[in-house]
Amino acid sequence: MDQPLKNWTVFSDEQSPPEQLSEPPRRPKWTDTLAYIADPDQFCRHNLAQYGPVFKTSVFGGTTVFVGSAEAIQMTFNGDADYTEIGLPATTMDMFGEFSLFQRPDLHRQRKSAVRPAFSGNMLADYCAKIHPLLTEHLQSWDASQPIALTPLLEDFVFDLLVLQLLGIPLSQGDVALTGLPISTKAELKRQYQTFFDGFYGLVKWQSPLTTFGRGKRARAKLIDFMRALIQQRRQTPLEPATDFLSMMLASQQENPDSVFSDDLIENQCLLQLWASHYEVSILLSSWMYQLGQYPQCIKQVRAEQVAVLGKEEHLEALSMEQLKPLMFLDATIKETLRLLPPSSTATRKLTKSVALDGVLFKAGWNVIAEPRIAHAIEAYFANPDQFKPERFLPEQGEGRMYEFIPFGGGVHACLGAQLAIATAKIFILHLLQRFDWDLMGDADFIQFPLKRIKSNYRIKLQAREEVTCL
């Protein structure tokens, strides 16, 4: 993809930026944080229309500049170890903990390089092979005789899948799979993860059971105890490195005890990768079903491509990663879903030095947020941006260039699990389309913050397809 030219200037502490530089437009308001949390889409769209793709706010305190232009996003993504650092709220940083990939800038590249093989290549192919039997089992349990709640159904499948792929625990066997661990039921494990997730966005850093942050910290401690016990349990059996994320890290540690994989890092990576992937994947699947439910002609086109590429009698349980690549319209529908319904912002950085870009000064000490809800709505990047048009992502149209389409962030902190999320979505969709049609039951209501996702009470109607082959 095309990459915009680097055209910004970084000023050292000894340099004074030229006086002719202007600051981004808009005067920050004390209500900005409340307005953003209430409806991030509306906040971004309103200010984009009034001030353009770069504007100042006071979101989360201090001066925070929202950026959506490709040049400003490129500047935001590529400043680590030079002129930016992570700019997340203190509560969020505390919930991540010191063994997250980005908490220590001096160790970030080493840690991320060590973990990356678990989300690409042979291990990604092995993860995808695990999807087929588990997905078939879940789809067989879906009840088409009455409306079903979409979000809980998909969250349950994705949780089972990721606990298997990342931790090696087959929750489909029931709570017996958790025997000997300090959290002994799937329901309790999910509840602790939900409490942990909520704690990331507590506005008050007060460790009390009366606060969201305090409850999140308690859940984090319980989950770390769970991971610690799981690691000890796993060490009692022979390790197969390619089986799951945890086994890969333990095998690497066993091979090289002085490697980056300390017990603390392994515990925290199990905790955080499951936390991040669960919501990333489940939101993508529910958003895709909701979007495509409004465009039955697109479903027909995906099905036609599936038959043309894979053949009518293709057995999906034998589907490989290579066979997914030619399904270009399917890929385009996923990307268009991510464009129109990005769940959150993708990068929050704090400027450690002042930067000038296109005559605009970004001052040291300010925060910068790269917002897909701005970038994805810019007509110069996406023709008729409010319309659902998957074909815009086909090669002949060429929309969705680097720094213009940013569902998974970019730069050194780009999402490690992006390939896993997309591959999981493709396999899920192929199985789904062979088994079911579905009708939406009106417009969905969305939770807007911290992640945009369909509310749990939204229901759809399933219809089992008469001929289910290839399963």
* 372 touches 407 (CB < 8 A): yes
Distances (CA, A) of 157 to 132, 171, 269: 12, 10, 21
Return the bridge partners of 262, or none.
none
Q: Please state the length of the chain.
A: 471
Q: Is 270 annotated as a binding residue?
A: no
3-state secondary structure the chain: CCCCCCCEEEECCCCCCCCCCECCCCCCCCCHHHHHHHCHHHHHHHHHHHHCCEEEECCCCCCEEEECCHHHHHHHHCCECCCEEECCCHHHHHHHCCCCCCCCCCCHHHHHHHHHHHHCHHHHHHHHHHHHHHHHHHHHHCCCCCCEEHHHHHHHHHHHHHHHHHHCCCHHHCHHHHCCCCCCCHHHHHHHHHHHHHHCCCCCCCCCCCCHHHHHHHHHHHHHHHHHHHHHHHCCCCCCCCCCHHHHHHHHHHHCCCCCCCHHHHHHHHHHHHHHHHHHHHHHHHHHHHHHHCCHHHHHHHHHHHHHHHCCCCCHHHCCHHHHCCCHHHHHHHHHHHHHCCCCCCEEEEECCEEEECCEEECCCCEEEECHHHHCCCCCCCCCCCCCCHHHHCCCCCCCCCCCCCCCCCHHHCCCCHHHHHHHHHHHHHHHHHHEEEEECCCCCEECCCCCEECCCCEEEEEECCCCCCC
| One-letter amino acid for residue 130 of the chain | K
How many Å apart are CA 260 and CA 250, to the nearest integer? 11
Annotated binding site for heme: 415
Annotated binding site: 415
